[in-house]
Copies of this chain bind each other. A is one copy, B any other.
């Protein structure tokens, strides 16, 4: 096994977030499930955009956000995801390359356009997401460079991308390539509705020992395991994944690795502005600690610090100097 060329290679949706402040009344009026993620088509995106307040565009995508955090911390990363050959595709490509991530997936010509996630942020900082997957769902299996996957320490996959057929096939090939090369496979469950649609696939992958590091939040853990009780849910996955990380919003997070268990409190912050990307950046911090073979509790702390940074401003890409922030907080 040669030394990995990348610390982490990720496959995920290539999405530009379109974010606007919204009242709780608007969320209700538009019939949206507050805090959730709903898939919409291009017409739906047009209608919903028209109902949205003035917005800002910031690159997003769950796994891409995680890589942006990892890259800011100093990890070597590559991203695989599909944009269209349009202005928002150019924005996504610019933003991910600008933080030092290799991104070589060629833009796709013609319709549909680059994926957008219309995000309504309520005064409590919660985000309600409506995603038009556009070009992102047409990531072909051929876009995958198996050598790059075999040469990366960790393969990171987002559950959101399990819906469309081609990217799902690409992710299955990537898992096989990573495992054959003795690399780690990390997976984030992404969303309760994704689990409702693909829970059987996810449970089979886990039972087969295909997933080394699994990220979930409390609701996703319950949806995956069918256990409403948190501890019972945790226990039901014991021994099936090497590392399990469950985030619990303001209650912090829990991780289990081998026989070990660790917990972390949520990092205190002055004011929650926008929770978009909290889970993505938690994963970034945790994986960075994992790459450095740090203690489980330190990996969790890194996750909590990165998540706290991201929810203190609009957008799911880090703004502060994460390296400096971690150095300061981990010493303190």
Contact = CB atoms under 8 A, between A and B. Distances in A.
A181 interface: no
Interface of A: 20-21, 49-50, 52-59, 68, 86-88, 91, 94-96, 98-99, 113, 315, 317, 319
A113 B87 CA distance: 9
Contact of A55 (B52, B86, B95): B95
Nearest to A16: B57
A317 B87 CA distance: 22
Kindly list the 4 A-B residue pairs having the minimum CB-CB distance in the complex, ordered from nearest: A57-B57, A87-B87, A54-B95, A54-B98
Contacts of A55: 91, 94-95, 98
Contacts of A54: 59, 68, 94-96, 98-99, 317
A87 B180 CA distance: 42
B86 A52 contact: no
A213 to B, nearest CB: 26
Nearest to A58: B56
Nearest to A88: B87
B87 A50 contact: no
Nearest to A72: B54
Given A56-B58, A68-B54, A99-B54, A49 B113 contact: no
